[in-house]
Structure 1
């Protein structure tokens, strides 16, 4: 009887290498440390946002990737190859600038085709590529207009077409919506995400606007003072902030300071002025560590007779709901959402409560 041949174990598929990778990236301007030794990885065909306040280092990082600034130390790789020594024109990267940087003396078609003029293409090839890019951003009908004859949103579409016509490996967007009014920003957010999906291209977008980042991104990198505070999917950053800084910057969570009493697997118990609470927690905390209990306004419930005592300080009508601001006995401020017919009176004493499983314990202060 012939023995059966041994079955080969099934090998797990190796994760795809990141499209763009940074290792210990540092940027100094004299004595100013704009970017402080950060590591990051960006996958192909994704929409990633660098999010943070002015001066946090996000634009410096974008300019280093684009080739407009040299790295002080560290390494940036694209498709596994170092970008060191390559100027902006030599990199398979294109940038859409905040002011669009269109040539005022050229019409739309000429602006879009400008970068192709140096690629030794025939007139028919160049024309076909320009037509395809204009079609992608729905600007074919305005091909003969000059930039001054276009609205802000139309100028941005032209800038996008000029960038994507070169078929870059990654498209960099430096605060591209900041010059638009609120309604136009909303419309362009939808268009940008739709364009990225249709192109199957990687977009790296810089903004200080949390709402914009959440609307667009597959992944968000939160920066502060030249460091990365947290990077991950938008839902994880909102629901599971790593630090008090992220919790406050992303949507302004309520922060109740305290100290860790004990840790068990993914849960920690924190002692605060309002009592002890056992909640899911960020990894790495230990007994005795300073931490913060983070609660979103929509996670806090209002009670007239039980719960954590608080005094109502302000109420703000927001159409379908009320924002109610309260203060605990130690001065800690807690905001919540009330959806009843009316909020409690300012000055009233109320009780606050929340489900332990919906709270989250983050590290105190900033990361890094």
Structure 2
């Protein structure tokens, strides 16, 4: 008992997954460039980035579906580098669900157990338990073609968790669903992860999905990690102009750092000098960007003159596009919108905006 308790305590304190200096190339194309990453036990981590940034390649290397170029993969302190996919305590939910059309829902979930050391009299029982976990036990006798997209996704999840993996990989699992169903499944995925106490590593290009699900977000660009952290930190404290723009489409006003000032930095921009908080390590004379999100910019009687170019109704408010000093700004505006071509004044609270590096 003491040994078992010590082992369990060790698992809780050390990272579940460690990715160390991982590289992968396809000919002259470097898909993954020196990734260092660790996943805590019972966490929900999302790899977020545009198509071609390396996130799916990284996921496939962790799952054993792609050989690594160089580097190290560790799970629970065990090297995974040369371990085949079927011997890793990892399961994957694919974008296409990959259900067998000729098998029932129950048979699809039970299929993988038949290749493991599971007593025959326990296979169906465990498959039913997995279906109950994703609230699909009533559909056990149906065929995949008789299910909606969301129901097929739940079956794919049941088939993955029935094997009790240490790590569950999800490769764009919600991309085939409509908007309403995606939102419903986001809630169910996060609830499932919490109930199981399992670690999920999820790949998506959808920022809203990443924020809804994740304890931690890893933003990738060109095969590298651009920034990683809690969703709130990624949104309010982007490290670079790329992250600021990719996460929520911030307006990035170029400038130069004049030096430390107060709790942040003084930055000189085309719209004047501002003192605001910023990412650590900015030096005098360095090029940087002042990041302003639409909800941080307001119309008022004072401020920078700007011309309204577009107004888009979003239901709860209007999104205005305004140009000032040759720079495009987006403004979330609750009242009746000014007409395109009208001159307005823009202002912001310097404590709410952020200075990021111009480039990584």
The TM-score by the shorter chain falls in which range?
A: over 0.9
Question: Where do residues 4-15 of structure 1 align in structure 2 (5 Å cutoff)?
Answer: none
Confirm or deny: 8 A CA contact 1:173 1:205 kept in the other structure: yes
Structure 2 length as normaliser, TM-score? 0.95
- Residue 122 of structure 1 deviates from its aligned partner by 2.1
Tell me the distance in 2 between the aligned counterparts of 1:250 and 1:33: 24
* 1:273 counterpart (254, 270, 275): 270
Structure 1 length as normaliser, TM-score? 0.93
- Residue 321 of structure 1 deviates from its aligned partner by 1.0
Tell me the distance in 1 between the aligned counterparts of 2:67 and 2:11: 33
3-state secondary structure, aligned to 1:61: helix
Tell me the distance in 1 between the aligned counterparts of 2:315 and 2:162: 44
- 1:87-123 Cα deviation digits (max 9, x unpaired): 0000000000000111111111111011110223223
Q: Does 1:72 align with 2:66?
A: no
Runs in 1 of length 4+ with deviation above 3 angstroms? none
Corresponding residue of 2:283: 286
Corresponding residue of 2:352: 358
Q: Does 1:107 align with 2:101?
A: no
Confirm or deny: 8 A CA contact 2:11 2:76 kept in the other structure: no
Tell me the distance in 1 between the aligned counterparts of 2:74 and 2:32: 17
Corresponding residue of 1:165: 162
Q: Does 1:338 align with 2:333?
A: yes
- Residue 145 of structure 1 deviates from its aligned partner by 1.1
3-state secondary structure, aligned to 1:109: helix
CA gap of 1:283–1:222, structure 2 versus 1, over 3 A, is same
Corresponding residue of 1:320: 316
Confirm or deny: 8 A CA contact 2:321 2:331 kept in the other structure: yes
Confirm or deny: 8 A CA contact 1:266 1:283 kept in the other structure: no
Q: Does 1:85 align with 2:79?
A: no
Number of aligned residue pairs: give it: 351
Tell me the distance in 2 between the aligned counterparts of 1:264 and 1:30: 48
3-state secondary structure, aligned to 1:247: helix
Tell me the distance in 2 between the aligned counterparts of 1:115 and 1:308: 63
Tell me the distance in 2 between the aligned counterparts of 1:120 and 1:171: 20
Corresponding residue of 2:117: 120
The structure with more radius of gyration: 1
Confirm or deny: 8 A CA contact 2:171 2:202 kept in the other structure: yes
- Residue 131 of structure 1 deviates from its aligned partner by 1.2
CA gap of 1:101–1:266, structure 2 versus 1, over 3 A, is farther
Corresponding residue of 1:135: 132
* 1:40 counterpart (37, 40, 46): 37
Tell me the distance in 1 between the aligned counterparts of 2:318 and 2:134: 40
Q: Once superposed, what is the RMSD of the aligned Cα atoms? A: 1.4
Question: Where do residues 225-304 of structure 1 align in structure 2 (5 Å cutoff)?
Answer: 225-264=222-261, 266-303=263-300
Tell me the distance in 1 between the aligned counterparts of 2:88 and 2:251: 44
Tell me the distance in 1 between the aligned counterparts of 2:43 and 2:96: 24
- 1:57-92 Cα deviation digits (max 9, x unpaired): 000000000000011011111111110110000000
Gaps of 5+ in 2: 1-9
- Residue 124 of structure 1 deviates from its aligned partner by 2.4
Tell me the distance in 1 between the aligned counterparts of 2:26 and 2:217: 26
- Residue 15 of structure 1 deviates from its aligned partner by 8.8
Instruction: Please say which of residues 264-273 and 157-166 is displaced more in the overlay.
Output: 264-273
Instruction: Please say which of residues 306-315 and 168-177 is displaced more in the overlay.
Output: 306-315
- Residue 345 of structure 1 deviates from its aligned partner by 2.0
3-state secondary structure, aligned to 2:302: coil
- Residue 264 of structure 1 deviates from its aligned partner by 4.5
Q: Does 1:311 align with 2:311?
A: no
Corresponding residue of 2:5: none
Gaps of 5+ in 1: 1-12
Confirm or deny: 8 A CA contact 2:39 2:45 kept in the other structure: yes
Confirm or deny: 8 A CA contact 2:169 2:202 kept in the other structure: yes
